[in-house]
A and B are shown apart, each in its own frame.
Chain A
């Protein structure tokens, strides 16, 4: 099932898909090494959901064939990806990984709201399915936050991690190529940046004022972060062993 969208709107959808893909990729690093077994299971489940959401969006653009989806997921040049730097960031610190999960899924709720009434019916369907799963991601983060924020030591660690991620988080809301056309044609109800204030209100209501710092230079998400090359090399390590192989 593919959708008939303009090249510009395709770029807009790729930004959402690439964020989802790389967020799932980052979560996949944490299986078995989160603070406790129940969290291992939850984080792994969330990671699978994020990858699944990416696959649904790639499918809208490329069709249901695994090879076509993987071509979009793995084979583009660096400047053709539309991910934000937040999801490209490598970390071996669970506090940072968890803070990113909270920031990303909180922002994601706003983004999916913008396309939930899209003029593209297939995108509406994907948005509805995604939201059914995303609400559990937010519940997971909220329940953990209830514990972490009630404890002085844990709160300090968590708030410090959010502060470190705050500049990159702004990159989630940066306009992407095709967004203006997506809004003009009703694919999206508005630009993602329009949700920034509401997002900040949600975050700060939970942990207090945040110094958001300076947004990274992403050049409308056409510019990759310093962590990109190593991330993509890891994702493509097996693929690159033999480009003609089907694994």
Chain B
């Protein structure tokens, strides 16, 4: 392991067929599997509101965005499957059985159109910041190459969310009220997406999967979005929010990590519905996959 870690510290890139310690293989696989699951479950979260999108061309844009998310999941499952720990089907079966994780934010339900905008604006920005930090110095080559594409597309998603948020900010009282409600629901989950402070011995940092500590990324997000939201006339739902004039920094106050922990145990507000609906769809369409498997088994 020491030689492998020295290789990584020197900027070494690991490819799928290279020898790698089992611990590294497992850690990278778990990280990518969770990323893949999150892209898919994020798409399902957005799906709830796509048919209700106000506007024909607008609907095309949000469909394209969610198609990107599902496409990211598709690519990531392939990268993960190549590591030969689980097949794509096994990963999906585990996800729909509630056995594997996905990001906390997708354990919540989008209950208004404002939530859809908040997801694109706040959550995609948080996810993008995390992905950029991984891409910066990622030691696993296949993941790093896929992240390049994902990051470029996520940038468009965030800009779509920002554009829609700005329309609302310049819109009617009803629109502003709806978005403020969404902000009240999504601000903390988006912030919690970065996770608690990184542990000193975080192997993902040591093995150059992550390049930034969770608390550093979270703080950058806070410093960007708190003033931006306020400048558009919205109230940041943090009762203990304060500004340190000397440091020139915003502080959102104590963070309650219990909601994050509940989502990690599949106990979020919408975890059961989200997982059960996905499982139900998966089961109801199994006959198609079975037919395809049988067709593939027939010699050409």
Contact = CB atoms under 8 A, between A and B. Distances in A.
Interface of A: 21, 24-25, 28-29, 31-41, 44-45, 47-48, 51-52, 54-55, 58, 66, 69-70, 73-74, 93-94, 146-148, 150-151, 153-154, 157, 234-235, 237-239, 241-242, 244-247
Contacts of A235: 51-52
B133 interface: no
Contacts, number: 139
A153 B287 CA distance: 8
Interface in B121-140: none
Nearest to A27: B63
B63 A47 contact: yes
26 contacts: A31-B50, A32-B43, A36-B288, A36-B289, A40-B43, A41-B74, A44-B67, A47-B63, A48-B63, A52-B60, A70-B56, A94-B285, A146-B295, A147-B295, A148-B288, A150-B298, A153-B290, A154-B287, A154-B291, A238-B53, A238-B113, A242-B172, A244-B172, A247-B54, A247-B168, A247-B175
B297 to A, nearest CB: 11
Q: Which of the listed residues A73, A148, A151 has the most CB atoms from chain B within 10 Å of its own CB?
A: A151
Interface residues of B, number: 47
A246 B67 contact: no
Contacts of B57: 51, 55, 66, 69
A54 B59 CA distance: 12
A31 B67 contact: yes
B56 A69 contact: yes
Contacts of A40: 43, 67, 70, 74
Nearest to B62: A28
B281 interface: yes
Contacts of A32: 40, 43-44, 47, 66, 70
A239 B71 CA distance: 29
Contacts of A151: 291, 294-295
B121 to A, nearest CB: 14
A32 B281 CA distance: 9
Contacts of B288: 35-36, 39, 94, 148, 154
Given A41-B74, A58-B56, A247-B54, 8 more contacts: A29-B50, A33-B278, A48-B63, A51-B59, A55-B56, A69-B57, A70-B55, A247-B55
B113 A51 contact: no
B55 A66 contact: yes
Contact of A31 (B47, B171, B292): B47
Nearest to A67: B55
A35 B67 contact: no
A37 B73 contact: yes
B233 to A, nearest CB: 16
B70 A238 contact: no
Nearest to A73: B56
Best-surrounded residue of B60, B174, B291, B294 (most CB of chain A within 10 A): B291
